[in-house]
Structure 1
């Protein structure tokens, strides 16, 4: 028998102040990451000849890296001295936001870690936390970041889950 005042459906999960979803994509640093392969400055892509190396670095257009993260690496099996990276860093310093050794995808964890280290994890004290599982390709969240955040949360939370509120995988229960 229908009445004029229908019972309202209440989403108790949404109303709970104990359940918190963390979307790790919000900590993604969208600064452009560009790779610089040192192979192009080497004789036959393998041999570092100091004089020629220095000349090529002096003539290179470094402005293409303005305000970007630059990831310096060598895609060949060349053995490079530490000073070679230092010379490249000297040229990049006035242009790049920051210079890293490695390929662009290899620094994503480091960039996340820097932002995550600024989080006050104690604000999740005694909470049930869901680490959102889906991410888009524009702001990838590496597995290593989920591992890192789990370690940060464990001293504070009652429970860590992965996924969404309607479908999650329990990970930790304190």
Structure 2
């Protein structure tokens, strides 16, 4: 065997920067509270019964979680109902958002991405990581792309070994 043979890591030398949207969003767990369980005949919210049910509800199950508060029926829920839920859950949940779990994931990702410093990618070749442990909302990929276009030279999707070109800064 030739001792001059050296394996070269071309990916490391490529200057590609991988952005992991899951890491930017951070670790969070979403639990849902469906107001359907508090409705009379799954249609009507009675204030007195609702207040009583909220006082009996086990709020500790939402400790350190993001609580998604929504109603899965077509009932019209008054705004004050969501406000009452917040007053009970605030001491337990990390955050409380009105919406389905999917909407809450989207909200959490967009909030984290909005706070991210995109200027660090100035004139860089960027790969937005495509695989992750949890499902990342399409809106997060769209938002990241929108924020990268003014600063990056190239935007790709996937992994360094296998990527899809998405955008390239036009040559002047």
- Whether these two folds match at TM > 0.5 is yes
Query: TM-score, normalization: structure 2?
Result: 0.88
Change in Cα spacing, 1:100 to 1:10, as seen in structure 2 (3 Å) is same
Displacement after TM superposition at 1:149 (Å): 0.4
Find 1:90's aligned residue among 65, 87, 90. 87
Displacement after TM superposition at 1:59 (Å): 2.2
Displacement after TM superposition at 1:157 (Å): 0.8
SS, match of residue 162 in structure 1: strand
Count of equivalent residues: 169
Taking the aligned partners of 1:59 and 1:166, their CA distance within structure 2 comes to 54
Report 1:2-17 matches (<5 A): 5-17=3-15
Change in Cα spacing, 1:7 to 1:57, as seen in structure 2 (3 Å) is closer
Match for residue 110 of structure 2?
Answer: 113
Displacement after TM superposition at 1:152 (Å): 0.9
Instruction: Let me know the Cα RMSD of the aligned residues.
Output: 1.9
The answer on whether the counterparts of 1:29 and 1:111 sit within 8 Å (CA) in structure 2 is no
Displacement after TM superposition at 1:92 (Å): 1.3
Change in Cα spacing, 1:59 to 1:5, as seen in structure 2 (3 Å) is closer
Q: Which has the larger radius of gyration?
A: 1
Instruction: Please say if 1:101 is aligned against 2:98.
Output: yes
Displacement after TM superposition at 1:158 (Å): 0.8
Match for residue 146 of structure 1?
Answer: 141
Taking the aligned partners of 1:62 and 1:5, their CA distance within structure 2 comes to 65
SS, match of residue 117 in structure 1: helix
Taking the aligned partners of 1:129 and 1:29, their CA distance within structure 2 comes to 20
Task: Structure 2: state its 5+ residue gaps.
Answer: none
Instruction: Please say if 1:66 is aligned against 2:59.
Output: no
Find 1:42's aligned residue among 39, 43, 46. 39
Query: TM-score, normalization: structure 1?
Result: 0.87
Report 1:21-40 matches (<5 A): 21-40=18-37
Match for residue 172 of structure 1?
Answer: 167
Displacement after TM superposition at 1:94 (Å): 1.8
SS, match of residue 158 in structure 2: strand
Taking the aligned partners of 2:167 and 2:159, their CA distance within structure 1 comes to 15
Task: Structure 1: state its 5+ residue gaps.
Answer: none
